Structure 1
Amino acid sequence: MAIAKQVSSNLEWRINVPDGTSERLVPESGAVLKLWWRLKGLLEGMILKIYKFLYKAWKLAVAEPKKVIHGIKVGLAMSLVSLFYYMRPLYEGVGGNAMWAIMTVVVVFESTIGATFCKCINRAIGTTLAGSLGVGVHWIASHSSKDMEPIIIGASVFVLVSAATFSRFMPAIKSRFDYGVLIFILTFSLISVSGYRVDKLFEMAHQRVSTIAIGTSLCIIVSMVVCPIWAGGELHQLICLNLEKLACSLDECVAEFFKDNKTSSAADIEEDRRKKMLGYKCVLNTKATEESMARFARWEPAHGRFNFRHPWKQYVKIGASMRNCGYCIETLSGCVNSKIQAPIHLKSHLKRICLRLSTTSSNVLKELTSTMKTMKKSSKIELLVGEMSFAVEELRNAMKSIPNHLIITTQSSSEAHHGEANTEPITKITAPSPFMEIIPLATMVSMLIENAARIEGIVKAVDELAAMAKFKPVIDKKPNHTHTHTHSTKIHTSDNQDHDQTMKTPPKV
């Protein structure tokens, strides 16, 4: 063992250089050098992580500029409300409670005007009500005996806070006033408890209510003046976009199912088609967003094409109908990705009819998208729904002939014998198609029929919205055929006159 160590210590590494000689490789050593390489690797890793973070932030800002606008608006509101600290007259006017205005801006400011309105109104109502009750309880306790004062204040805090906390479990309160109840509990507890040791309680409550009013007013003004983002408009655009995605996803799923395996396209085209086919997933994942936007949109004033009493709840119903349709398309997508595929002769038998049904169904969805975007009643929707129903009946009739296609029959003539003119055909019957191979095609057909029925539910929901929101009907500009008819009559009359004159004129020899 000692001899092996001695031999290894005598070994050395050399490299050949261009001049024909060799140089000895000396291993780098030293604790300082190792520490330097570790610090260098650590710094490079940190710089790389910062670069990746900034790159992701840049991509997010480019993809969704509204989030950048929201950040700028919050910064502007904070800068304005900070003036109450920087300017002496404003600071003395609010009695040193300017921090409440800053806290209000931080807590209340949201990305949409509806959400900001909701929180501002909840905070104002909760603060005002809690301040009034706190001052009232303090007045009652101060006019009682010294021993009863803490008991009255403690009992009032226990009763009101318990009742307010219980009310947060009620659906009607939780959906619209949950934040207000939370602010009520916080403000009432602060005023009641601190009022026991503070002499000028009314002045303190007045200053806090004033600073909160200043903060909420600044939030509302900045959110409505600087690049306003309306929750109602966002909800309307989301519903329109989801309708388009459903139509594209339905077309792509059916086309992909009946696509010939021999056909191929470019990779970018295939990627685009796959994204369109999976568009139904966006519809299935927007339930919470639609409900929150509809809830916030009810707090917004009239703006653009939307009145104050616009039926925002109906948008939630339309979204639910679209998700029912999306579940059918999800099943269609499963049939496309299934490892078990139907026989080619069965696919070719139903291909034209299934594509026709998917086309008519997507046309109905696209027309509903146009109706939602323009907010005008469509004059073609009944015709398109009728074409979709006719395609459904046609597909059902085609399904009745499926048993005849489960067994493939082929005929072949026997070879002609010497001196025989007639031959008898020989019929070869192959084995019937396995049952498992028919399941994907049967699922595809049944889901197409069910999807058509659910699309009619979307049509009904959009019609209800059009009636409640008073969509304007589309005026069809029919061409004026009177002048054309008169002109053609005149031409026809002149032609007859010319013809009669020609008949009366004798031919020249």
Structure 2
Amino acid sequence: MESTHVISITNNEEENVDHNKEKNNNNKTFPFSPSFPTIISHVKEKKFNMSFVPIFPSFSHLSEQETKNIIHSIKVGISLVLVSLLYLLDPLYEQVGENAMWAIMTVVVIFEFSAGATLGKGLNRGMGTIVGGGLGCVAAILAQKLGGVGNSIIIGICIFIFGAIATYFRMIPRIKRRYEYGVMIFILTLNLVLVSVVRDEQQVWEIARDRLLTIVIGFIICISVSFFLFPLWASNEFHDSTHSSFQHLVNAIQGCLEDYMRFADEKENEATNTNFTFCKTLLNSKSKDELLANYAKWEPLHGKFGYSYPWQNYLKIGEVNRELAAIILVLGRCLQTSKKPMELQSWSETIQVIEPCFEAIGSNIVWSLKELGESMKQMRKIHASQISTKLKASRAEISMVVKMIISTSKKISTSMLNNNDENNNCYDDDASLAIASFLFLLKEVVNKVEELTKVVEQLGDIAGFPTHIQL
């Protein structure tokens, strides 16, 4: 049996990190992809502090998310001021006229929290406007040539056909996920162009051209502010949330094992203090992960993330993490039902014998998850062979404990039957069942960590993570 000890994990744990090595890891980029230039991009590294602004001295105590919210609000305000100059400055207003309203609408509807979301929505709006406006102009010109009743008939038929087809494509999952807004803008633009030419004698092409120009102006303002003024990248948020989930899972597993052994100690009789809040939150994170992955796919080359970065593999990692979180929650529930059986005197000797086994199992699982989390954080390949060795050792320890539990259960049952103590025999069955359930769930945790290892290893191969060299 391998002699190891449980690694103590806390949320405020401080690790000694080689600063030169950390600097080198931060400079890694996705293979064959240059870095996207930005004016300031330190928000994700927690280097930004609003206290340097004299008029906002109290912002220094805000959390990272609150700081990002303030930054986003300021950026939206700046964009609205810039686009309003089309109305406020006479030379600009003389060029665009009332069509400046379309630029303001563009800023309001496409400026999102992250750069990827803003770019994706802006491109969707642009594509929808161009395609919808182009088809609308062609149909409108054809309707104008027919004139009279034929004009209204052609317009009505075009609205019905294109509107119905676009709505059908909008419901296709793949299109809905990335291009739903573009399809909606296509329908809107097509209808606006077609119905406007019925009552407006101005040339169709002039209407489409002027409105498209102002939309492009609004789009350029949004992208410029979003990308070059404290950019908030969805890819960074998705990457950080993924690798941080490993540490939270480590804390939950560590707490489960410590609580279980505390329940087994007759000197302690306390309630579970393990925090399962993150596990419950993680179970509901699928929609958020899919949204961040979609936004990240729109973002250009920047930092450590390049073109066609495998965000789909991050979704796979998130799926396995959610399954692991579900097992941990059941494991925590098992602790509540295991308390009374653990107080039985007949099991105290066996519990003391198997305690080192639980320590070895917990140590191996904790080390494996921490290794996976660190490899994700540093974007390096994992030590797959070492993790496999640790997990194999954990299975061996679990098998050993199972054999000991079976042997002890038989001895206790035989002794109680000989003494005609049927009531205590029932309690003994409950105790053995509780321990067996805990061991089964613990084995499922090991299996899930092994599956997680394969998914992370696959990500490293596809993304081209460098091999980590220990000095």
Q: TM-score range by the shorter chain?
A: 0.7 to 0.9
Q: Between the two proteins, what is the percent identity of the paired residues? A: 34
> What code does the residue aligned with 1:310 have?
Y
Question: Residue 378 of structure 1 corresponds to which residue in structure 2?
Answer: 382
**Cα offset for 1:279?**
3.0
> What code does the residue aligned with 1:321 have?
V
Higher relative contact order (CA 8 A, sep 6+): 2
Pair 1:230-2:230 in alignment: no
**Cα offset for 1:409?**
9.9
**Cα offset for 1:400?**
1.5
**Cα offset for 1:250?**
0.6
> What code does the residue aligned with 1:207 have?
D
Question: Residue 91 of structure 1 corresponds to which residue in structure 2?
Answer: 93
What is the alpha-carbon distance in structure 1 between the residues aligned to residue 266 and residue 130 of structure 2? 70
Superposition CA RMSD, Å: 2.5
Task: Write out aligned runs for 1:75-474 (5 A).
Answer: 75-200=77-202, 201-259=204-262, 260=265, 262-263=267-268, 274-275=274-275, 277-338=276-337, 341-343=340-342, 344-345=347-348, 346-379=350-383, 381-406=384-409, 407-408=411-412, 431-432=424-425, 433-474=427-468
What is the alpha-carbon distance in structure 2 between the residues aligned to residue 148 and residue 59 of structure 1? 67
Deviating above 6 A after TM superposition, structure 1's stretches of 4 or more consecutive aligned residues are 57-62, 427-430
Q: Are the aligned partners of 2:259 and 2:274 in contact in 1 as well (CA < 8 Å)?
A: no
> What code does the residue aligned with 2:256 have?
C
> What code does the residue aligned with 1:104 have?
T
What is the alpha-carbon distance in structure 2 between the residues aligned to residue 378 and residue 147 of structure 1? 71
CA distance 1:279–1:429, change in 2 (3 Å)? farther
Q: Which moved more, 1:254-263 or 1:166-175?
A: 254-263
TM-score by length of 2: 0.80
What is the alpha-carbon distance in structure 2 between the residues aligned to residue 60 and residue 157 of structure 1? 51
CA distance 1:188–1:440, change in 2 (3 Å)? same
Structure 2: where are the runs of 5+ without partners? 1-58
1:108-132 superposed Cα distances (whole Å, 9 cap, x missing partner)? 0100111111100000000111111
> What code does the residue aligned with 2:72 have?
H
CA distance 1:365–1:84, change in 2 (3 Å)? same
Q: Are the aligned partners of 1:95 and 1:207 in contact in 2 as well (CA < 8 Å)?
A: no
What is the alpha-carbon distance in structure 2 between the residues aligned to residue 397 and residue 261 of structure 1? 23
Q: Secondary structure at the match of 1:131?
A: helix
Q: Secondary structure at the match of 1:389?
A: helix
1:286-342 superposed Cα distances (whole Å, 9 cap, x missing partner)? 111111111111111111011111111100001111111111111111012237533
1:374-395 superposed Cα distances (whole Å, 9 cap, x missing partner)? 111234x422331221121122
CA distance 1:217–1:261, change in 2 (3 Å)? farther
CA distance 1:63–1:230, change in 2 (3 Å)? closer
What is the alpha-carbon distance in structure 2 between the residues aligned to residue 213 and residue 240 of structure 1? 38
Larger Rg: 1
1:416-455 superposed Cα distances (whole Å, 9 cap, x missing partner)? xxxxxxxxxxx98975443223332211100111110111
TM-score by length of 1: 0.74
CA distance 1:61–1:359, change in 2 (3 Å)? closer
**Cα offset for 1:96?**
1.6
| Equivalences, count | 399
Name the structure with the higher helix share.
Answer: 2
What is the alpha-carbon distance in structure 2 between the residues aligned to residue 77 and residue 84 of structure 1? 12
CA distance 1:339–1:402, change in 2 (3 Å)? closer
**Cα offset for 1:351?**
2.4
Q: Secondary structure at the match of 1:341?
A: helix
Q: Are the aligned partners of 1:340 and 1:437 in contact in 2 as well (CA < 8 Å)?
A: no
1:125-144 superposed Cα distances (whole Å, 9 cap, x missing partner)? 00111111111111111111
Structure 1: where are the runs of 5+ without partners? 1-56, 412-426, 478-509
> What code does the residue aligned with 2:193 have?
I
CA distance 1:60–1:261, change in 2 (3 Å)? farther
